Amino acid sequence: MHDDPYKRERRKQARLDKLGTNDPHCGMCGESDWRTIEQHHVADHGRDETVVLLCRNCHRKVSDDQKDHPAPFASSEPMLETIGHFLLGLADMLRTLAPRLYEFGRWLIDYARKVEVMP
């Protein structure tokens, strides 16, 4: 069987076009394989169009967290509810990233203390 040598490249470029970048990375873990990157709606799909790129694993985790967010309430003010869901979605992502943020922060401070200060 002879595969079309351009088939994979066309599929890749179509995916990159959909993601809006030729260099996609997961905003949480750094995964960069274009086949695993997806768009995640921070405030949950249908509430706001703000998306971040996440790999399938990270996307599943934060999407599952969104299932614990409050259900829509018909008589609430839509913009306030959207902002609330956006903040909850962002908090879910930051909760997952917090250990890495501490690790990077501590490493940076330790490194800074080893670097000579120029007079």
What pLDDT is attached to residue 118?
77
User: Domain for residue 1, yes or no?
Assistant: no
- Across the chain, how many H-helices and E-strands are there? 3, 2
User: Domain for residue 61, yes or no?
Assistant: yes
User: Domain for residue 96, yes or no?
Assistant: yes
Query: How many domains, in total, are found in the chain?
Result: 1
- Mean pLDDT, the chain, rounded, equals 92
19 CB contacts (<8 Å, ≥6 apart)? 34, 37, 39, 53
* High-pLDDT (> 70) share of the chain, %: 98
88 strand-pairing partners: none
Contact 52, 42 (CB under 8 A): yes
Residue with tokens 């997961």: 26
Residue 52, domain extent: 7-114
Contact 24, 32 (CB under 8 A): yes
Contact 28, 93 (CB under 8 A): yes
| Per-residue pLDDT reduced to its tens digit, 3-12 | 787 898 999 9
| Per-residue pLDDT reduced to its tens digit, 12-44 | 999 999 999 999 999 999 999 999 999 999 998
What pLDDT is attached to residue 2?
62
User: Domain for residue 55, yes or no?
Assistant: yes
Higher confidence at residue 118 or residue 78? 78
What pLDDT is attached to residue 1?
54
User: Domain for residue 119, yes or no?
Assistant: no
d(CA 56, CA 30) in angstroms, rounded, equals: 12
What's the pTM value of the predicted model, to 2 decimals? 0.78
| Half-sphere exposure in the Cβ direction for 109 (13 Å, CA) | 6
